[in-house]
Structure 1
Amino acid sequence: MRTVVSRLIHSRSSISGFHKVSASTNGRFLSTDSNKVDETFKVAEANNSDSNSNKVDEPFKVEEAETVDVLPPPTEKLLVLGGNGFVGSHICREALDRGLTVASLSRSGRSSLHDSWVNNVIWHKGDLLASDSWNEALNGVTSVISCVGGFGSNSYMYKINGTANINAIRAASEKGVKKFVYISAADFGLANYLLQGYYEGKRAAETELLTKFPYGGMILRPGFIYGTRSVGKLKIPLGVVGTPLEMVLQHTKPLNKLPLVGPLFTPPVNVTAVAKVAVRAATDPVFPPGIIDVYGIQRYSQQKSR
């Protein structure tokens, strides 16, 4: 019995002595109050793991950053067919202003204009009626705008306005081009019969486009397109006639429904408006596919681009 009591006294004095010891970690002293034994052991345990907890709180550090090859964001490349013509040159300039990579394909190649923007276009020379001469121009192209057209005999007009554009539409579809915009022409009633090959060619190209590009094909049907046309060193201000006509005829839309002569009241449209809408149609992901008449061209040209 005496031995047991002696051991209990010895044990108690050891615990008491433990409490009286000033244990410190990182300069912090533990409590020596015997009534706070639990808190003392908790603090001691926490202090013993201070070094680990500090490491957890520190931000993760990478000794050497891993090199990852990240592809740059895709760049839209626009190919303008007939980019050195009256409408085509305005489209090229509008597209460059929008920050696009612009290429042009035509039978004569580089534009004869001496404006500074000409140097920023990739010029290709080729004939749409001979695929071997121009097929490479579609490499890397995301959208196409065709301004190809011409006048002459009925067979020639059908070939230039129809066959040439059909060839381009099919080739672009095979290359995976996303959008194709075709500058067609408004109906002019009796004029359609006088220029039969011209309009039959246009409508054949339109049909092919809506077949090959049901979700990314846009057809612009302007009437008379006015603006400053350059012929060599001569500049012809077509706006002198076109501007007042547009102001008057845009308010006579009901007359456009008259049989035979109604289409003659179709208002002219500025070449800048045509270019603006064509580029927007080729690049805006939410631009609706289908046919845009002259009134639609006027409306879209007045809206802000996305």
Structure 2
Amino acid sequence: MESTNRNKLLVLGGTGFVGTHICKEALQQGLPVMSLSRSGRPKLRDSWTYDVTWIQGNLFEPDKWKDALKETSAVISCVGGFGSNETMRKVNGDANIAAINVAHDSGVKRFVYISALDFGFPSFILRGYYEGKKAAEEALQIKFPYGGVILRPSFIYGDRQVGEIKIPLSVLGTPLEMVLKQVKSITQIPIIGPLFVPPVKVTTVSKAAVRAAVDSAVPPGVLDVWHINRLGDS
């Protein structure tokens, strides 16, 4: 029997740079938030962390965490990483595909995937990374044709917490975004265009992701940087 109390947001990879900002944004909107990651509760002890239900688990072992989906109305996945091509294909692709399948089978209605802009690099550069992202996107569109939203941000900047140190990536990102937003037409130039897509604030990505997860008025499909900015700033 399906639970009728599906009101929680599950953030996959909620302890990472983007994931922590998404958790904070969801809490600010009054949403009950759960986070699933391999580490479980983060070392960070900011006050907001006590309002999140932290779940330790592996996406490839769904039997150990899928019960959380009984209370979940939407999932946002920030899972991704770098390494060898095999590792990148597994982390960016297979892990997300596993999560998409379990969420679908558990009756979750909406699933938001934080993907990435393809900058058009030669195929041998980060091949496994983009192959994995593409495979996850395809799986989401098949399993969630009416409730799957893909965000393709460019470089994401903002305050990144590394241990006790806060790295202000906005020092570089803010002026770069301001400049590149004024030359949108350049992004349409073949081959080099994607390199001029402006970076996007992590708070904007977070707001757009949460909005896409909870607002059925946001249509399924792909949101590029320009759409992310509009949705996140609205």
Task: Give the structure-2-normalised TM-score.
Answer: 0.96
Alignment of 1:150-189 (within 5 A): 150-189=81-120
Report the identity percentage: 60
Partner residue in 2 for 1:240: 171
The match for 1:211 is 142
Amino acid at match of 1:300: L
Query: Counterpart of 1:21?
Result: none
Q: Report the residue type matching 1:258 in the other structure.
A: I
| Mapped partners of 1:184, 1:277: distance in 2 | 13
Structure-2 residue corresponding to 1:202: 133
- Deviation per CA, 1:173-214, whole angstroms, max 9, x where unpaired? 000001000000001011654101000000100000010000
Report which structure shows greater RCO (CA 8 Å, sep ≥6): 2
Partner of 1:144: helix, strand, or coil?
strand
Cα offsets for 1:41-79 (capped at 9, x unmatched): xxxxxxxxxxxxxxxxxxxxxxxxxxxxxxxx9562100
Instruction: Give the aligned partner of residue 12 of structure 2.
Output: 81
Alignment partners' CA distance in 2, 1:211 and 1:252: 35
Partner of 1:16: none
Equivalent residues in 2 for 1:46-85, closer than 5 Å: 76-85=7-16
Structure with greater Cα Rg: 1
Give the aligned length. Answer: 231
2:135 match: secondary structure: helix
CA distance in 2, matches of 1:225, 1:83: 16
User: Which of structure 1's runs of 4+ aligned residues deviate more than 6 A?
Assistant: none
- Taking the aligned partners of 1:279 and 1:192, their CA distance within structure 2 comes to 32
1:292 is aligned to 2:219: no
> 1:283 & 1:265 partners in 2: Cα distance?
31
| Deviation readout 1:150-176 (Å, 9 max, x if unpaired) | 000000000000000000000000000
Equivalent in 20, 29, 33 of residue 98 of structure 1: 29
- The one of 115, 122, 127 equivalent to 2:46 is 115
> Which sections of structure 2, spanning at least 5 residues, go unmatched?
none
TM-score in terms of structure 1 length: 0.73
Alpha-carbon distance between aligned partners in 1 of 2:72 and 2:113, rounded to the nearest angstrom: 16
Q: What is the deviation of 1:299?
A: 1.0
The one of 138, 154, 167 equivalent to 2:69 is 138
1: CA distance between counterparts of 2:170 and 2:122? 22
Q: Superposition RMSD on alpha carbons, in Å?
A: 1.3
